Amino acid sequence: MLDVHALVKTVAGGRRVLDGVTFSVKPGEFIGILGSSGAGKSLTLRAITGLTEIDSGEVRFTGADQSICRVAHAKGAELRAARRQIGVIFQGLHLVKRLSVLENVMIGRLGYISPLRSWLYGFTDAEARAAVGALEQVELASFADRLTATLSGGEMQRVAIARAIFQQPRLYLADEPIASLDPRNAEGILKLLQPLAKDTPVIGTFHQPDFTRRFCTRVIGIRAGRVVYDGSPQLSHHDLNEIYGIREVQTA
């Protein structure tokens, strides 16, 4: 489904922010990526969609027609075709605040409409109805005609999920979907993501091991650009210390 192999990215100054990240994703998985800030979690997701260029390594994404796209090296139409099938759930501030909630959701299928149509009138009534359906899944259908700027952080995050659902991708990527939310809202978001993962794998980056333990099927720990843990979401203290780089106190 998705194979990420030996991603390397060096920033100015020679520091390796990605240093051989490797993992694969199978259908039905809900993967939580853990790691401290700057460890390379978000960068890994960005590399998967080709938003960040990498120095070396490979991302192989299997599309609906079983063709394999090497995303990290693809350009133009081929890259767009792969991106259409990857639904990225960014943090809420990635919505266009001056458009209505419904328009923000419909933008999810922008990759499928012709340039002429996006010029003339945008989306059809049928697409609008389908988008309302996606909003119903996140329990925001009554917000459809509101200006996105008037929503709270948690509501915007759910709109972002509705956009990704409406996109009907083959893979979801969620970049810190609960980072700026209170625990109750955070739990609500994860309860939305969990059922999605049954049909379409979800990869999310998180800061809260207790949430990944409860909702994810697998955890990948990244530290200083390397995968230091890959396995069950039931992490031990030792595993956590390994991921977050906390030296264990030696008892004499």
Partner 1 sequence: MTAYSASRRLLRRAAIGAIVVTLFLAAALRCDVRPEIFRQGLGQGPNFIASFFPPLWSAAGEMVTPVLITIVLATSATLLGLFLSFPVGLAAASNVAPAWLRQPVRVLLGVERAVPETILLLFFVVAFGLGPLAGVFSLALGSIGMLGKLLGDAMEEVDPAVVDSVRAAGATFWQTIRYGLLPQVLPALAAHTLFRFDVNVRNSVVLGAIGAGGIGEEIAHSMGMIQYERATIAVLGSLLVIYTAEAVSGRLRRRLLGAEA
Partner 2 sequence: MLFGGLLTLAALLLYLQVDPLSVIGQLPHLLNLGRDMFPPRLAILWEREGLVNSVIETLAMAFAGTVLGLCLAFPAGLLGAANTTPHPALRAFTRAALSLERSITSFFFLLVFLIAFGLGPFAGTMTLAVGTLGLFGKLFAESIERVEHAPVEAIAALGATSWQQICFGALPQAAPALIANALFAFDVNLRLSISLGIFGAGGLGAEFLLAKQTLRYRDVFALALITLVLITTVERVSDQLRKHI
Q: Which residues bind partner 1 (CB under 8 A)?
A: 100, 102-103, 120-125, 128-129, 132, 141, 144-145
Alpha carbons 16 and 251: distance in angstroms, whole number = 34
Q: Pick from 82, 105, 144, 151: which binds partner 2 (CB under 8 A)?
A: 82
Pairing mode, if any, of strands 30-34 and 202-205? parallel
Place of tokens 């720990």: 221
Q: Which is nearer to partner 1, 21 or 162 (CB)?
A: 162
State the minimum distance, in angstroms, from the CB of residue 85 to partner 2.
Answer: 8
Residue 123: name its binding partner from partner 2, partner 1, none (Cβ under 5 to 8 Å by kind). partner 1
The span of 64-72, 115-123, 206-214, 222-230 binding partner 2 (CB under 8 A) equals 115-123
Report d(CA 167, CA 173) in Å as an integer. Answer: 12
Which is closer to partner 1, CB of 55 or CB of 136?
136
Q: Do residues 144 and 102 lie in contact, with contact meaning Cβ atoms separated by under 8 Å? A: yes
Q: Six-digit token pair at 236? A: 């031990």
Instruction: Provide, for the chain, the percentages of residues in helix, strand and coil under a 3-state DSSP scheme, each rounded to the nearest 5.
Output: 40, 25, 35
90 binds, among partner 1, partner 2, none (CB under 5 to 8 A by kind): partner 2
What element of type H or E holds 32? Answer: strand 30-34
Q: State the residues that interact with partner 2 by CB under 8 A.
A: 49, 51, 79-86, 88, 90, 93-99, 107-108, 110-111, 115, 118-119, 167
